[in-house]
Amino acid sequence: MSKLSAGDVCWAQDPTDAHPQRPIVVLAHDTHPFSATDCTVMCVGTSAGKYQQTTPEVKDEHLNGISFNDTSYLMPWALYTIAPGSIMNGKTKGELTADGRRLVKKSLIGCVESLDSGGTSQ
């Protein structure tokens, strides 16, 4: 399998085990120190907008070469290190646009900033 770049959007076996597969945003693979066995990803979901946490909507202007049929949201708390083999080869693959990359960065920073405001996990 070729290594993926940060910002690639593709399908993988669902690391949350909620579904057989789900879309993911690659955060680190080609630059990961253990890229033969590890790929760090953020999950994308369709019901994440119902959660109390900040879940930015992924819109068409955030994506290039891939689109979703249902309204989809970044899940910045759902970060996983998965085996590259769990990424679905042959499935649609695209990438984040510059706006999409900013949205991912902002959502990750928002998770860290919640530590300053005394945010607690349930």
CB burial string 14-40: b at 16+ within 10 A, e below: bbeeeeeebbbbbbbbeebeeeeeebb
Specify the CATH number for the domain of residue 15.
2.30.30.110
**Domain assignment present for 2:** no
Mean pLDDT, residues 96-110: 95
Give 102's Cβ-side CA count (13 Å radius): 6
Neighbours of 10 (CB within 10 A): 19
CA dist., res. 11 & res. 94, Å (int) = 10
**Domain assignment present for 73:** yes
User: For the chain, how many structural domains are there in total?
Assistant: 1
**Domain assignment present for 28:** yes
Mean pLDDT, residues 27-47: 85
**Domain assignment present for 83:** yes
The pLDDT of residue 122: 44
The pLDDT of residue 94: 94
**Domain assignment present for 122:** no
pTM given for the model: 0.85
Neighbours of 95 (CB within 10 A): 19
**Domain assignment present for 109:** yes
**Domain assignment present for 63:** yes
Reported confidence tier of residue 44, pLDDT bands at 50, 70, 90: very high
CA dist., res. 110 & res. 117, Å (int) = 11
CA dist., res. 72 & res. 43, Å (int) = 10
For residue 85, the enclosing domain spans 8-116
**Domain assignment present for 3:** no
Mean pLDDT, residues 30-56: 80
